[in-house]
Structure 1
Amino acid sequence: MMERCATHHGNVIKKYCADHDVVCCETCNVVRHRSCPHVDKLRHVGKGIKTSVEYKTSKESLDEIISRMKQEKDVRSKNLTSIHQQKEKLMKDVDKFQDEVIDRIKDLAKTSKQQIRSKHEEYKKAIETDEAALGNCYIVSYQNIGKLSAYNDSRVTRVCAYSKAGILLRTFDRDDNDKQILCSLRKIALSAMKELIFLTDKVNGLIVLNKEGKKMWNFNDPELKEARGICVLPGDLVFVSGASSNNILQIDNDGKKEGILVGPSKGLNKPLAMAYDEENSRIIVGCGSNEILVYSISRK
């Protein structure tokens, strides 16, 4: 196949100008290389080139370059295979680690749930036992007050808690200093949320014990004469009535007086017992004057 001249289209490349080191057609030779002394035909220039030292050297150099390129290609191919294998191994390691972490989390969650259930049952039983004990404590003490008060105003000086089977669980009568807590018990109220027992005593006013019988605080005030009725509202808002002072006082959680809810001017006469109507937010008071009075309260 003959190569055509790029400048003079259609003309065949036939000559070589050694002065300019270019191949050319007949037109190129006449126009551009007419004065060049070393222009010859290609067939003459190419004779013996394959046996020349330059050809052999160039060929050997090209062969060496091709060989190196193949070696580099093989190295890169091996590297590509190696990094692919490393990637696959790392991916498997990550998946394995992920599975191990998930399994560990599941084990921890299972253990935590078991511990929560166990603690829940433990606390539930303890609360139920205390509720039952406090409930029985209320029933026994209240009934004893009714029975003993019929006999010459006998004084109740202790509170006893019994199980439903009739077994004595606790007796509340003395404080940490071994002093008598009560002089003449009148009423009992309970706070299930804070596990407190509220007692009214004819002499000592309002006394609060925890479920272990430890005295938390004692409220006694000149404005409260002969503490009698007691009422604990949700949120542990406490009202106590004075049978002789003819009033109802409001007490805070620390045993401090917040004020007088109802006084003698409201027609209160010897308030002996109180109950809270949560639905209608009312205090119902039973009086020694054979009257039942109802007072609305506003809770803020």
Structure 2
Amino acid sequence: MKYPDIYTVEDERFTRLILPNAQLEHLWSGARWCEGPVHVPAGRYLLFSDIPNDRMLRFDETDQRVSVFRQPARFSNGNTLDREGRLISCEHYSRSLTRTEHDGSLTVLAERFEGRRFNSPNDVVVSSDGSIWFTDPSYGIDSDYEGGLREAEMGCHVYRLGPEGRLTRVADDFDKPNGLAFSPDERHLYIADTGATHHPDGPRHIRRFRVNNDHTLSDGRLFAECDYGIFDGFRIDTSGNLWTSSSEGVHCHAPDATLLGRIHVPETIANVAFGGQYRNRLFICASTSLYAIYLNTRGCSILAG
């Protein structure tokens, strides 16, 4: 079967995950750097960050319009939903992790570890037990473009905020920890390291960790190396395939790390998110624009469990 030019099939398994007649849709342009997409099923809309413009945007699936959800947004980056459908956001400028309550008010969940300010929380996921896991590289304090130029108070690490409010550091051996996502059974956590943004020979890979019963991480092994730019944000489908950003488009890796295929996008991608009625629509935040494509697979969702 002939597939559109937007696809590159590297492994036959990829053909079972894509739809030959589905096209890459350009939904909107007008951002400086799109990031942090999260689909809100109750409202049939997608929220995403436009970091340099200090705003969060809202794409409405019902009328295809994009509007401003929040501005200023304290240079928010990664977003997700908790078990109650509340918005969890990583904020560069405030150097904190926040929750948007159902009435629209903001609650600061974490802003320090052992008395020191975070650098700039970047990406975030919530597990089925309600704990919040997030990365803290320095991108938001490296300049005034995506936050505010400030001195780092500690290294770039990965954290877990338990449902009881206890904050722990779960990984401290990263250069620039970035995107992260759980496997469908939550026995593994994938974390990207994008240290190549600061050092030409720095990491541009994803590591896979075992999640232990005591909520610690171990056995952090290399999962995949990016051959086009860096891996930034990514999501995982119900079969455990990992859909990740790169400078040429979306890469799809099987649970065994095999590169199954690529979806080519005309802009550098920062992050992706599954959404739509059946969670089979992949939304793509790509530099100045928002794209989407329907797939023959569904994304994992803690709200669906």
Same fold (TM over 0.5): no
Larger radius of gyration: 1
TM-score, L = length of structure 1: 0.43
TM-score, L = length of structure 2: 0.43
Q: Which has the higher helix share?
A: 1
Q: Which fold has the larger relative contact order, with Cα–Cα distance below 8 Å and residues 6 or more apart in sequence? A: 2
Q: Which has the higher strand share?
A: 2
